[in-house]
């Protein structure tokens, strides 16, 4: 049932957002040039690697001149990239990942293979489901770039300030997942744009009640 929802939802989403895709693509082409998309390697279901699609928000070859974590003051970010990240528009191309089956609408966010290689036995449970566009952690750390801003080593700061809670919330979702939970997370994700403080309280309450 979840896979059917993903397929129809992604197809409908791509049709409805086609004008946004075209507008953003043209804007980026004029402002930043090619390539329009970033195709980063991520670990998916069962640890199988796949290419995640995003609108490019950083300079070309950014992964070769910096780490995998990005703060809001990262010099690799482009002007258009800052805008896209602020409103999460860079994530729209992941609808293609959902359609092809590499991702789901809801699930733990996919990590780079170098990060999943460090998973302990419990953390490997995160790879037992398809990674998602959104989950509890995506909402709680929707301002990840702001949290990491000013840090000398953004990835070290990520591992210290974000990773532990992100892992906890991801495992909580995997252990207690259901279609009802997925719909709640999708609704809450949309509401995050309206009032992030309210969503943070809901996440804490929801995850606390299911543990």
* Among 67, 39, 168, CA closest to 108: 168
Minimal CA–CA distance to 72: which of 135, 151, 163?
151
Region 185-199: what's the mean pLDDT? 74
Q: What is the pLDDT of residue 58?
A: 95
The sign of the dihedral angle between the CA atoms of 143, 180, 16, 109 is positive
What's the whole-model pTM score? 0.87
Per-residue confidence (pLDDT) for residue 186, from 0 to 100: 94
Q: What is the pLDDT of residues 1-50, one digit of tens each?
A: 999 999 999 999 999 999 999 999 999 999 999 999 999 999 999 999 99
The Cβ of residue 203 has, within 10 Å, a number of other Cβ atoms equal to: 22
- What dihedral do alpha carbons 164, 55, 197, 67 form, nearest 10°? 30
């Amino acid at each position: 049932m979840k896979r059917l929802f993903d397929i129809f939802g992604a197809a409908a989403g791509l049709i409805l957002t086609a004008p946004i895709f075209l507008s953003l693509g043209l804007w980026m082409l004029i402002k930043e040039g090619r390539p329009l998309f970033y195709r980063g390697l991520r670990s998916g279901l069962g640890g199988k690697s796949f290419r995640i699609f995003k609108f490019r928000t950083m300079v070309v070859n950014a992964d070769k001149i910096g780490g995998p974590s990005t703060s809001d003051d990262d010099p690799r970010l482009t002007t258009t990239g800052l805008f896209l990240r602020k409103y999460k528009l860079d994530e729209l191309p992941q609808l293609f990942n959902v359609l092809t089956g590499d991702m789901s609408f809801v699930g733990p966010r996919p990590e780079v293979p170098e990060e999943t290689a460090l998973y302990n036995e419990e953390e490997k449970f995160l790879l037992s489901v398809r990674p998602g566009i959104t989950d509890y952690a995506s909402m709680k750390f929707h301002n990840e770039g702001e949290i990491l801003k000013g840090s000398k080593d953004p990835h070290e700061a990520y591992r210290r300030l974000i990773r532990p809670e992100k892992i906890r919330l991801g495992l909580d979702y995997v252990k207690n997942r259901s279609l009802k939970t997925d719909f709640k997370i999708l609704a809450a994700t949309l509401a995050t744009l309206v009032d992030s403080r309210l969503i943070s309280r809901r996440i804490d309450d929801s995850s606390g009640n299911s543990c």
